[in-house]
Structure 1
Amino acid sequence: MKARIPKHREFIISFAEGYDKADECWDKLQEIMDAYKKEGKSVYTPTFIEDNEDKVKALQESYEFTYTIEER
């Protein structure tokens, strides 16, 4: 049996070691994903990054993290 896993891009979020608001930020990031899923889309949707990058950048201004976008 063969399974084809589609290539996709994903956000890689990094916090400084010991950053005390990481859990709070992860909850906010999860809210972004949950809202996206409610639209009937998934993280494998080809436009996932474009649809959510502005929201992630807005969170980045409030929380201290860096992110990259990787293709898997």
Structure 2
Amino acid sequence: MKARIPTHREFIIDFPKDMDQAKADEGWAKLTQIVEDYKKAHNGQSVYAPTFIEDCEPAVKALQEAYGFTYTVQQVR
């Protein structure tokens, strides 16, 4: 079986290496919640939706301030 995954953009998240693991896990859980909330609000759409980055970036930036991670947006094939 073959599956074709469309070209899309993704957030690439990097937590500081010296960050306490519990705090990084907490931040990651909140990032995961952003994705789940997005799915609920957009009829099950996922990270493959064309506007996912634009819709979620404000929430990601807010968490970035709280948890100190860096992120980039990368085109993925």
1:58 Cα deviation from its structure 2 partner: 0.5
Judged with a 3 Å threshold, the aligned counterparts in structure 2 of structure 1 residues 19 and 3 are, in CA distance, closer, same or farther, namely same
Aligned-residue sequence identity (percent) comes to: 64
The alignment partner of 1:25 has SS state of helix
Letter in 2 for 1:19: M
Question: What do the CA deviations read for 1:21-59 (whole angstroms, capped 9, x no partner)?
Answer: 100000100110110111222110000000000000000
1:2 Cα deviation from its structure 2 partner: 5.4
TM norm structure 2: 0.86
Gaps of 5+ in 2: none
The alignment partner of 1:46 has SS state of coil
Runs of 4+ in 1 over 6 A off after TM superposition: none
Letter in 1 for 2:33: E
For the aligned residue pairs, the C-alpha RMSD in angstroms reads 1.3
Instruction: Report the counterpart of residue 48 of structure 1 in structure 2.
Output: 52
The alignment partner of 1:38 has SS state of helix
Instruction: Report the counterpart of residue 16 of structure 1 in structure 2.
Output: 16
Mapped partners of 1:49, 1:60: distance in 2? 15
Aligned residues: 72
Gaps of 5+ in 1: none
